[in-house]
Chain A
Amino acid sequence: MADTGDSDIGGTSPDDVQLRFREDEPVGHAAVTVDAFLDQSNANAVRVEPGDDARELIPHLQRIALVEVNFPAFGDGRGYSSARILREAGYAGELRAVGDVLVDQLAYMRRCGFDAFAPDAALDPNDVEAALARWPHVYQEAADARQPIWAERHA
């Protein structure tokens, strides 16, 4: 169990956020672990690790302003499911991918509902622009607003 009073644990600060696709004010304090969040009633920022069950947060989404999903290694794809599950449950706050977040995974993360990114290593802005403009269409329904190809075909 994490020490809930220690704001150094894990969380990123707004200064660490390189990309943000929303207009509201970022949460100014660090996120707590899922266990800590469930133990206390006043936190509004929580950090989801790959092994956490994002569905545990669903009863509390109204009071959450920031969910950080940690990618300790970019090849661990559990965070993509966590993000989509939260968006499917109606979560509308900031969904921030943190950790080993690389430019080549950015487009898929956007599709899964991430709208902020705090990568361990800063991304090249030109590469970011290219990555986000890469796909003219998408094949699946996901957590973003894009229409799947099948919807365009049968519009």
Chain B
Amino acid sequence: MYLYDQYDQAMVDARVEEFRDQARRRLEGKLSEDQFKPLRLMNGLYLQLHAYMLRVAIPYGTLNGRQMRALADIAETYDRGYGHFTTRQNIQYNWIKLEDAADILADLAEVEMHAIQTSGNCIRNISSDHFAGAAADELVDPRPYAELLRQWSSFHPEFSYLPRKFKIAVIASETDRAAMKLHDIGIRIVSNSEGEPGAAFYVGGGMGRTPMIAPCIREFVPLDRLVTYAEACLRVYNRYGRRDNKYKARIKILVHELGAEEYTRQVEEEFAHLLEQGVEPPIAELDRIRTYFADPDFEDGPKSVDRSDPDFALWVERNTVRHKHDAYVSAVISLKPVGGIPGDASAEQMRLMADLAERYSFDELRVMHTQNIVLPHVRIADLHALWSALDEAGLGAPNLDTIEDIIACPGLDYCSLANARSIPVAQRISERFAAKGRTAELGELKLKISGCINACGHHHAGHIGILGVDRKGVENYQLLLGGSEAQDTALAKITGPGFDEDGIVDAVETAAEVYLREREDGERFLDTYRRIGMTPFKEALYG
């Protein structure tokens, strides 16, 4: 994985000192809250319902054991002993004091981490495929391109006061595990007819109150023009994105209002101009970054496991994923224990995951946007030992991509924007299905819950989505069906009138029953929905 050199370290250290100075000026009253707010946001510090929340960047979701241990230490020293892994592959702490924030950033800098641009109207932490470098189906490891863009976007002088936040995802396989088309810019590394690698740019996707799937605006940008093209996309947005209404300020609205064709024309014009300006790092820089992502020394070994222990067999079946080397798998550590808070991990669990990564996965971990953790390179021979350690620590839930593997935003339990609680709904749904033993029978069923229209819980992209709204002061939950964030990206549709908290749990069960009744051989929930449409679900829910 990428390691800082003297330059990267100096920049992160300078940022810590800058923020320390800004926090001091705020506490002394030299900065108003209005002036301080964007500065603290660009260092990941939000003011939530009960306290400050700090969002720490985990670039493209990759970290090592030492970094995971530092995250555990922060949870214990400055928070309440746990952290929350997010849908942007980051971690959030919910109970932070402003006076401690600069010290936390300094602790992070010691392990080559930061909270730079994890919030604010700037280019956010760049996300990627959580199986990058391990996936059997990838063209190349997408992370060097994400790292190149991380450096370009860090402290960008022109693009730090954009109309609104800006999220970039980079993938390099046909299978989309990063919801790439639901980002402001989605980049897929592809190869052209001559076999040369380049980047396809999808611009103007997003969720929130106006979900949109990004159109492809250019099918092939040569790798030695990647930064220049991104710069052109951003400049057009910075100049012409709407600033009169924050709900219409994302780039998806600009692309939609101009039309993809006109937006593309403007980008191409800017691109032609910027090519003359020398903003592109040399290919030697990309080569330098690539060396950090070279394959670890994989060794041949057994390709199968003894499945005589049914609990272990189920976990292997559910939570391990094919690797490009046939003696290895990627193993998913579920942070979705039945009845738990999706994405939460205690300091103790983080330390265990760090130990296991060092012992079994070449000292590498990944944060998934589905709020789980991956050990990307595990020898099949080590799987039983790994599972035993996880199971003992309550981290062995065999539920990847099942109805228990729920994405949920923090909701009204923490978030000042939320209209409804998400966490208790997620807890009750996983408890309900686990108690009835129906999880396995339902197979792949991606359920996603947002506590407000901002859609941090990706409800638009759920096979089943739940959106919490405020209905005359009472929490109300709308049910959505048919979304997907994968390569077959689709936006879910609302079934009809919403439900109260008890009602939504029942409604999910009703929808699941329709699927079980109607499904044909090999169909997932989503496949059945696509074949039979909304009507049978509506009839069962409201009939």
| Residues on A facing B (Cβ under 8 Å) | 50, 53, 74-78, 80-81, 84, 88, 102, 104-105, 107-109, 111-112, 124, 127, 130, 134-142, 148-150, 152-154
Which of chain B's residues have a CB closer than 8 A to the CB of A112? 157-158
CA distance A74 to B11 in the complex (A): 24
What is the size category of the interface that chain B forms with chain A? 35 or more
Which of A77, A88, A134, A142 contacts B162 (CB under 8 A)?
A77
Proximity bits, B126-158, A CB within 8 Å = 1, else 0: 000000000000000000000000011011111
B161 touches A141 (CB 8 A): no
Which of chain B's residues have a CB closer than 8 A to the CB of A134? 14, 17-18
Which of A80, A107, A127, A137 contacts B7 (CB under 8 A)?
A137
Which of chain B's residues have a CB closer than 8 A to the CB of A78? 238-239, 243
Proximity bits, B1-45, A CB within 8 Å = 1, else 0: 000010110110010011001100100001100010011000000
Which of B10, B14, B35, B288 contacts A102 (CB under 8 A)?
B35
Question: Nearest chain A CB to B154's CB is how many angstroms away?
Answer: 5
Which of chain B's residues have a CB closer than 8 A to the CB of A136? 10-11, 14
Additional A-B contacts beyond A76-B161, A78-B238, A139-B156 (11; CB < 8 A):
A75-B38, A75-B161, A77-B161, A80-B161, A108-B160, A111-B157, A139-B151, A142-B157, A149-B151, A150-B151, A154-B288
Which of A109, A111, A138, A150 contacts B281 (CB under 8 A)?
A150
Interface residue stretch chosen among B271-279, B442-450, B525-533 = B271-279
Closest A-B pairs by Cβ, 3 of them:
A77-B161, A111-B157, A150-B281
A81 touches B238 (CB 8 A): yes
Proximity bits, B390-430, A CB within 8 Å = 1, else 0: 00000000000000000000000000000000000000000
Which of B11, B31, B157, B277 contacts A137 (CB under 8 A)?
B11
For residue B121, CB closer than 8 A to chain A, the reply is: yes
Known: A81-B158, A136-B11, A139-B154. A130 touches B238 (CB 8 A): no
CA distance A140 to B158 in the complex (A): 10
Which of chain B's residues have a CB closer than 8 A to the CB of A81? 158, 235, 238-239
B235 touches A77 (CB 8 A): no
For residue B284, CB closer than 8 A to chain A, the reply is: yes
Chain A residue at minimum C-beta to C-beta distance from B17: A134
CA distance A74 to B157 in the complex (A): 14
Give 18 pairs: A residue, B residue, CB < 8 Å, sorted on A: A74-B161, A75-B38, A75-B121, A78-B243, A104-B22, A104-B35, A105-B161, A127-B30, A130-B21, A136-B14, A139-B11, A140-B157, A140-B279, A142-B157, A149-B8, A150-B281, A153-B5, A153-B285
Question: Nearest chain A CB to B5's CB is how many angstroms away?
Answer: 7
Chain B residue at minimum C-beta to C-beta distance from A149: B7
Which of A75, A135, A154 contacts B155 (CB under 8 A)?
A135
Which of chain A's residues have a CB closer than 8 A to the CB of B281? 148, 150
Which of chain A's residues have a CB closer than 8 A to the CB of B282? 150, 154
Which of chain B's residues have a CB closer than 8 A to the CB of A104? 22, 31, 35, 39
For residue B159, CB closer than 8 A to chain A, the reply is: yes
Question: Nearest chain A CB to B168's CB is how many angstroms away?
Answer: 15
Question: Nearest chain A CB to B406's CB is how many angstroms away?
Answer: 35
Which of chain B's residues have a CB closer than 8 A to the CB of A77? 121, 158-163, 238
Known: A130-B21, A139-B154, A139-B155. A80 touches B238 (CB 8 A): yes
CA distance A78 to B17 in the complex (A): 27
A88 touches B277 (CB 8 A): yes
Question: Nearest chain B CB to A24's CB is how many angstroms away?
Answer: 24
Which of chain A's residues have a CB closer than 8 A to the CB of B25? 127
The CB with the most chain B CB atoms within 10 A, among A102, A107, A111, A140, is that of A140
CA distance A105 to B18 in the complex (A): 12
CA distance A141 to B21 in the complex (A): 26
Proximity bits, B67-105, A CB within 8 Å = 1, else 0: 000000000000000000000000000000000000000
The CB with the most chain B CB atoms within 10 A, among A75, A109, A134, is that of A75
Chain A residue at minimum C-beta to C-beta distance from B155: A139
Chain A residue at minimum C-beta to C-beta distance from B279: A141
The CB with the most chain A CB atoms within 10 A, among B5, B21, B121, is that of B21
CA distance A112 to B161 in the complex (A): 13
Chain B residue at minimum C-beta to C-beta distance from A79: B161
Question: Nearest chain A CB to B152's CB is how many angstroms away?
Answer: 6
CA distance A149 to B11 in the complex (A): 10
Which of chain A's residues have a CB closer than 8 A to the CB of B11? 135-137, 139, 149
Which of chain B's residues have a CB closer than 8 A to the CB of A154? 282, 284-285, 288
CA distance A9 to B35 in the complex (A): 27
Which of chain A's residues have a CB closer than 8 A to the CB of B162? 77
Known: A75-B161, A108-B157. A153 touches B10 (CB 8 A): no
Known: A81-B238, A134-B14, A137-B10. A74 touches B35 (CB 8 A): yes
Question: Nearest chain B CB to A74's CB is how many angstroms away?
Answer: 7
A76 touches B152 (CB 8 A): no
Chain A residue at minimum C-beta to C-beta distance from B10: A136
Known: A77-B162, A139-B154, A139-B155. A153 touches B7 (CB 8 A): yes
B161 touches A140 (CB 8 A): no
Chain B residue at minimum C-beta to C-beta distance from A77: B161
Which of chain B's residues have a CB closer than 8 A to the CB of A135? 11, 14, 155
Which of A75, A88, A148, A152 contacts B273 (CB under 8 A)?
A88
CA distance A61 to B8 in the complex (A): 38
Chain B residue at minimum C-beta to C-beta distance from A105: B161
A152 touches B235 (CB 8 A): no
